[in-house]
Amino acid sequence: MAEPKKPKVTPRIDIFKAWCKACGICIAFCPTGVLAKDEAGYPYVKDIEQCINCGWCEVRCPDFAITVETKVKEKKRVEVKGEEAQPKGEEEISPERIVAPGQ
Ligand code: SF4
Ligand code: SF4
């Protein structure tokens, strides 16, 4: 029996140019040709519809200059922002919240 198809999530590719050295690794590793070089040699998103969200560009970038954002990640980020937006009051971080579990 065939499994139901998951809805396609189109990721967003963020390129942080200040950290990018235009090495072209992300372009070379992208299996579907989403990325291309601009006239200065920096990567840009040529065809986001071809992105299969494999994450290779992000994993292979030696300078952490490219990230692949999915809507799920974005939603989490919004939720965190929502928490931060609430009035602080007694919301000071207690020492217990800083200590890692198991310590
Ligand atoms: S996530 Fe994969 S398919 Fe999408 S741009 Fe990066 S390497 Fe290409
Ligand atoms: S791999 Fe990283 S540093 Fe190299 S071109 Fe891509 S984003 Fe820029």
CATH assignment at residue 36: 3.30.70.20
Burial call 38-56: b when 16+ CB within 10 Å, e when fewer: eeeebbebeeeeebeeeeb
Residue 97 placed within a domain:
no
The predicted model scores a pTM of 0.69
Residue 4 placed within a domain:
no
What is the count of structural domains for the chain? 1
Q: Which residue of 23, 44, 45 sits with most ligand 2 atoms within 8 Å of its CB, as the best mutation to test the pocket? A: 23
Ligand with the closest atom to the CA of 57: 1
Instruction: Name the pLDDT band for 81 (thresholds 50, 70, 90).
Output: low
Lining residues, ligand 1, CB within 6 Å = 13, 29-32, 34-35, 51-57, 68
Instruction: Name the pLDDT band for 44 (thresholds 50, 70, 90).
Output: very high
Average pLDDT score over the chain: 80
Phi, psi of 69 (to 5 degrees): -105, 125
Range of the domain at 74: 12-87
Residue 6 placed within a domain:
no
Mean pLDDT of the 13-26 span: 98
